[in-house]
Amino acid sequence: MKIDCIEIYHLELPMAQPIETKLGTWDKWETVLVRMLSGDAEGWGEASPGNAPVFYPESAATVFHIVHRHLAPRMVGKYVQTPEQLLELLDPVMGNCHARAAVDCAWWDLFARRQNQPLHHVLNGKYEELTLGVSFDRMPRIEDLLQAIGEAFEAGFSRVELKLRPGWDASMLNIVRREFPTQNIHADVEGAMGLQHMELLCRLDDFFLTMLEQPLPAEDLVGMAMVQDTIRTPLGLDEAIFSLRQAELALELKSGRYVQIKLGQLGGITTAVKVHDACQESATPCWVGTMPDSGVGTRAAYAVASLDNCAFPTGYLLAHQRPVETLVPLPQPVRTAPDQPAVIQLWNEPGIGPTPDMQKLARFCIAEAAVRPQ
């Protein structure tokens, strides 16, 4: 299919609740949408790294610039029939995984829409419904956390992830486990520990966590393997998985027993599927994470979460953790019975389903550009 035009939109979406970051408090979340046109068909992709390089090395502003000046010009006017051809066009631009993801996901949505098939079917997904997990950070009072966890399990979420912070680690987990002794709980360290914390890491075995996510920094795959060899709690890899090569090395070193797939971090669906397949071959289950966004990126993530080896519940953001409004509707969790988990049903429409509401897009857009053949 020939890429006739690529449009790029930089948005500011008001958050339901402000987000505390190392660079201040954000009451709006910045994201970038890419619209790819081919004949009378269109595809949408999104990159949502945030307002500044806090969570990732990129920001929405850098994504907008890289797509506009470097990635889109390499694609417009070209015939791109396969994901391999797409990668070949994008490969000269180093790094900038989120910018690549926005373009890559737009191509996959366009590709699926031209086939009149849902994206998860084009990807040969196994699941038509997804179980879900939620995440909670440090709260002012432990009672607030216990209430939030209880409400999550009562609503049918299949797992709860807890962020560990200094002074909010073993003692917090001890209280949580007394209240919820058998539920599916895992903890996320976000790479904040080192091998010097081995005594604490060993203590965490006492809480029978489903997994301990990213205890060491992303680059320390050898250290992660040493921790995994020492403690019985399975380790989950998140920030460490930013390329297929890194994933393959982590699997070879046995640095963890679970792998999280994030489309922005991996540069889009094409590489995410390759990482999924490598994990499946190594019998290492995956799960898919999401970020605050307009809904376009979340729908693409859900499509990838339908793949066979995505056996751990998909990340789900609660209403207070997301922007106030999305540009496309998101599937809502439903329960068929009190003893059944909450699930989201995937869609039957082509691609990622609905396209963004252009009136809403115009309200939140702070910059836009279009790239056409010269």
By annotation, the residues acting in catalysis are 163, 262
Phi, psi values for residue 70, rounded to 5°: -125, -45
> 272, 300 in Cβ contact below 8 A?
no
Q: Please report which helix (H) or strand (E) contains residue 130, including its range.
A: strand 129-136
| CA 54 to each of CA 31, 289, 291, 317, 374: distance values in angstroms, whole numbers, following the listed order | 14, 17, 13, 19, 36
Euclidean distance between CA atoms 293 and 253, whole angstroms: 34
| CA 49 to each of CA 29, 144, 237, 283, 309: distance values in angstroms, whole numbers, following the listed order | 9, 28, 19, 30, 25
- CA distance from start to end of the chain: 18
Phi, psi values for residue 121, rounded to 5°: -75, -40
Q: Which residues are registered as beta bridge partners of 28? A: 14
Radius of gyration, alpha carbons of the chain: 20
> 294, 356 in Cβ contact below 8 A?
yes
Euclidean distance between CA atoms 65 and 372, whole angstroms: 16
Judged by DSSP in three states, 5 sits in strand
Residue type, 334: V
